Amino acid sequence: MVIHVLIACSKSKSIDPEESLIWSTGTDIESWNQFWHDKKIRFPPVQLYTGRAFIQQIQATENFTGIFVNVISAGAGLIPLVEEIPAYEATFRKGIGPNVTEWHRLPHGGIERLNVQPGDKVVSFAPPQYHRALLNDPNIHSISEQMIVPSTSPLAPISSTVIQIHPRAKEVLGVGSADLNTEFLRTYLSQGIEGFKEIARDGGKLPPKIERTSISDANLRRLIGELEHLGPLTKLIRHLRDELGIKASVERISAAQKSLRKE
């Protein structure tokens, strides 16, 4: 049995793309594919993508045998790690990348590239827009009986195995939203579905969730500016969220703090 792990690509890259491979409002699939095939200088995905989640998810698979990793890319299609690709810039956001309905027409194709055999599994923990691209692939039903996805995924209604995600999984795992899919992948590879049942049990033991007050970005920055004396980010987050009852993600607080320090 082989486990095919499908992970999202990374927005941050080690090489800047040429202008022809920066998706703009005037780009279409045909012109994009032509420019792509004309590029001679190419890089392995593990060299090109530098995003933290991508790197950590690759590392999470390295301790296990029988795993094939493919990258769901908004500019390339579905990429095996052994293939080389040019530097590019494209996302699933309107005007700067393909529509999810045409993703499978990108240079490296879509699900038809997967060599899924009877008994294999296809596992994916990726942002919703990447799973929407898979959902719109005309070959999705060829692997749906072997797919394992979280209950929060757009693929959940058609997948054979849906892992129930506890609403407070982030608290149990002690991570922010940006690292949640990485921790889900690690959990599945090391513990299987039983690991998620353990997360649910631990989530059920948590005290009632604190009701927090929403705050605008401008007011969050102002408040953080007044609290600079608190020092480390972790202390600032605890004070804002637990003591002041402010509704702000770890990512928002971190971004606001970095923005203030650049001024």
Q: What does the pLDDT profile of the chain (263 residues) look like in tens digits? A: 999 999 999 999 999 999 999 999 999 999 999 999 999 999 999 999 999 999 999 999 998 999 999 999 999 999 999 999 999 999 998 889 999 999 999 999 999 999 999 999 999 999 999 999 999 999 999 999 999 999 999 999 999 999 999 999 999 999 989 999 999 999 999 999 999 999 999 999 999 877 888 999 999 989 988 887 777 888 888 888 888 888 988 889 988 888 888 76
SS3 for 120?
A: coil
What is the model's pLDDT at position 95?
Answer: 84
Ordered strands of the 67-73 beta sheet: 77-80, 67-73, 3-8, 121-124, 147-150, 161-163
| Tokens read off for 133 | 């691209």
Q: Which of 5, 8, 31, 4 is CA-nearest to residue 20?
A: 31
| Residue 80 parent element (H or E) | strand 77-80
Between CA 201 and CA 208 the distance in angstroms is: 14
| Tokens read off for 156 | 């959940």
* pTM score above 0.95: no
